[in-house]
C-alpha cells in the first residue's frame, strides 16, 4: 500500500514538473517576443496587467479553477497554453516510466518541452529560433556526458543528417534554414547508424502522412512548403520514449 502511494506521488510530482516546465517556457517565449523581463518580473494578465496569485499559475489546474479566464477582467486565457501543459505533463510521465527516478528523466523533460515549443512556434510563424536550438543542444551534451557516450560519433551522424537537409533546402526550397539547423540537433541524438536512420525516417514519414492529409483536404498543394520543425520535434520525442 505504501509502495503504491509512493509511486502515485512520484507520478503526480513528475506530471506537475512537466507542467511547470511548460508553463515557464510559455512565459519565456511570450516575454521574449514582447522583449519583457522573464526572470524577475512576476506573472500577470496580458490584458489588465494584474499580478497573478500563486494559485493562478499552478500548471493545468489553475486553468480549470479559473474556468479559462482572468479572475479580474474576465479576459479568456488561451486554451493552447492549457493543452500544451497537459501534453508536456503526460509526456513527462511517460518519460518517467521509461527512465525512472533519475537525472535522465529531468534532462529529457526539458528537451521534450523545448522541442514541443519549437514545433508549435514553427507551425505558427515559420521560424525556428537559435536560442531554442542552443538550449536543446546544451542538454543533449549534458546527457552525452552523463551517459559517457561518444560525442564525436554522434557528431558524425549530426553532420550526415544535417547535410542531407541542407541539400534539400538548397535545391528544393521545401524547408527553411531553421529546419536545417534543427536537423543537425536531431542527428546529434544518434549513437549509431540505426538510431540516425530512425530519427531521419520518422521525421520524413510523419511529414509525408501529414502532407498527404492536408493535400486531400485541399489545405495544401504539392508545390507548397510546410513547416518541418514539428515533425523533427515529434521524431525526437519518439526517439526519447522508444530508444
The pTM (predicted TM-score) of the whole model is 0.91
118-148 pLDDT per residue, tens? 999 999 998 999 999 999 999 999 999 998 8
88-122 pLDDT per residue, tens? 999 999 999 999 888 999 999 999 999 999 999 99
29-76 pLDDT per residue, tens? 888 887 777 666 777 777 787 787 777 788 888 888 888 887 878 778
Give yes or no for a contact between 203 and 196, defined as CB atoms under 8 angstroms apart: no
Radius of gyration of the chain (CA): 19
Q: What is the pLDDT of residue 208?
A: 87
Q: What is the C-alpha to C-alpha distance for residues 23 and 57, in angstroms, rounded to an integer? A: 8
In this structure, the number of other CB atoms found within 10 A of the CB of residue 92 comes to: 28
146-168 pLDDT per residue, tens? 988 889 999 999 999 999 999 98
Domain ranges in the chain are: 1-93, 102-243
174-230 pLDDT per residue, tens? 788 899 999 999 999 999 999 999 999 999 999 889 888 888 887 776 666 778 999
Q: What is the C-alpha to C-alpha distance for residues 77 and 151, in angstroms, rounded to an integer? A: 43
**CA distances (Å), origin 154, targets 106, 147, 190, 227, 241:** 21, 13, 6, 25, 19
Amino acid at each position: 500500500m505504501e509502495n503504491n502511494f509512493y509511486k502515485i506521488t512520484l507520478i503526480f510530482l513528475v506530471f506537475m514538473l512537466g507542467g511547470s516546465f511548460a508553463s515557464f517556457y510559455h512565459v519565456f517565449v511570450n516575454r521574449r517576443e514582447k522583449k519583457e523581463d522573464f526572470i524577475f518580473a512576476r506573472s500577470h494578465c496580458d490584458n489588465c496587467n494584474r499580478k497573478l496569485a500563486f494559485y493562478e499559475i499552478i500548471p493545468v489546474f489553475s486553468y480549470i479553477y479559473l474556468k479559462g479566464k482572468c479572475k479580474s477582467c474576465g479576459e479568456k486565457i488561451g486554451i493552447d497554453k492549457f493543452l500544451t501543459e497537459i501534453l508536456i505533463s503526460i509526456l513527462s510521465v511517460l518519460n518517467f516510466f521509461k527512465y525512472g527516478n533519475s537525472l535522465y528523466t529531468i534532462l529529457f523533460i526539458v528537451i521534450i518541452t523545448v522541442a514541443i515549443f519549437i514545433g508549435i512556434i514553427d507551425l505558427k510563424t515559420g521560424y525556428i529560433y537559435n536560442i531554442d536550438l542552443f538550449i536543446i543542444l546544451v542538454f543533449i551534451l549534458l546527457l552525452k556526458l552523463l551517459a559517457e557516450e561518444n560525442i564525436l560519433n554522434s557528431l558524425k551522424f549530426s553532420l550526415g543528417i544535417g547535410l542531407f537537409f541542407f541539400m534539400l533546402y538548397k535545391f528544393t526550397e521545401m524547408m527553411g534554414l531553421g529546419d536545417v539547423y534543427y536537423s543537425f540537433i536531431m542527428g546529434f541524438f544518434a549513437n549509431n547508424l540505426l538510431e540516425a536512420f530512425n530519427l531521419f525516417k520518422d521525421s520524413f514519414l510523419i511529414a509525408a502522412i501529414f502532407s498527404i492529409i492536408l493535400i486531400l483536404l485541399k489545405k495544401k498543394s504539392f508545390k507548397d512548403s510546410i513547416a518541418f520543425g514539428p515533425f523533427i520535434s515529434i521524431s525526437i520525442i519518439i526517439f526519447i520514449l522508444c530508444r
